[in-house]
A and B are shown apart, each in its own frame.
Chain A
């Protein structure tokens, strides 16, 4: 993984790399740290492209890291448009490249 192995100022414990968990990216098993953002885990695994824009099919990836810009939207456990830069990684998560606007798995609301 593309992780910082030594740092002149920060103690490595600062990065809170406490629990390694497995997740999948487009079906490929990857390792990351529980509780850190999904986007950071992907970046550490060398993944740069997180979604594809609806019309021009442009690749998009990490950008603002504060949940504001929508560049890192992905499909996580079937839910599209997840802000992966501020969503913590959990064991067994299924992370997928989002193509276009994504399709929600929410059942239609039936009036009572």
Chain B
């Protein structure tokens, strides 16, 4: 018991999010242990993005709690949640367009984010190494000095993944990280997630079943803001209820 609690990183506990009557999340719960990889799937409107929104503080639940490292975080401002070690990659690439690729990463890699610490020029040496490494990881070293707004869509996705990693967050939320990527880039993304090591916990939302398979992580299926099923990909695939939800949606 105590071991399980020590390993528990995130608990989403009975969370409801109400958009003027429409319940995007309806008493949803989920737990992640340290080092877990988890994939969340579900048809459109299942509440996957709202789940990320709730964890990161972009929307406030009307009921329920979000507990990270034993602390309730659902009422904290976004930047305070990020400071506690959660970072999210958004569905639409959210890079800062007028800043260079390197500066985007430098902002993400900064350890001390208080405003008066920004009264200085350049990137401190300790952070420079992290920035260079991140550039290397996502293959953007040659493009380091162009404004991020001029990158191609796939490159922006990679840059944002690199930014999320550079924050050193323990819990990483990836909202459709492979959207707009080809098969080769998709498997590179899967490799990157595999290479992260046990000190990172990753929650991925994606539609792309081949990517989900490559990740090989346990899958949670959501439907209409509720928990539907959890299991391996094979189990989920074989599940009649899951199939009905997807088919019902398609029909």
A joins B in a complex? no
A residues within 8 Å of B by Cβ?
A: none
